[in-house]
Amino acid sequence: MNKSELIEAVAQEADITKAAAERALSAVLGAVVKAVSKGDSVALIGFGSFKPVKRAARTGKNPKTGAVLKIAATTVPKFTAGATFKAAVAGKKAAAKKK
């Protein structure tokens, strides 16, 4: 599913226009990107969470020449799926919460 197909699915599910669904989706994605780029995490209960993760500097190899090169440290976004999302993908019902 690409972005335009997702917009169409959201518009049908929410019974709104495609233009409104596109604005809403763009706003949500923009807010997630802005928060994670600032260093904050975004948790959507049942769906998953987005957070920035620091990746340490390391050495790598050029696959063509075999030469060793240094790869600089960086921060990358990470998504971790929530329990409900994992269960849906696996075709199972989500486990009941313990009290």
Residue 50, amino acid? F
Averaged pLDDT for residues 38-60 = 96
Say if residue 9's pLDDT is above 70.
yes
pLDDT, tens digit, for every residue of 19-44?
999 999 999 999 999 999 999 999 99
Q: What's the pLDDT score for residue 93?
A: 72
Say if residue 98's pLDDT is above 80.
no
82 backbone dihedrals φ, ψ, rounded to 5°:
-80, 170
Among residues 71, 95, 70, which one has the least CA distance to residue 83? 95
Q: Where are the domains of the chain?
A: 1-38, 43-84
Q: What kind of architecture, by CATH, is found in domain 43-84?
A: Irregular (4.10)
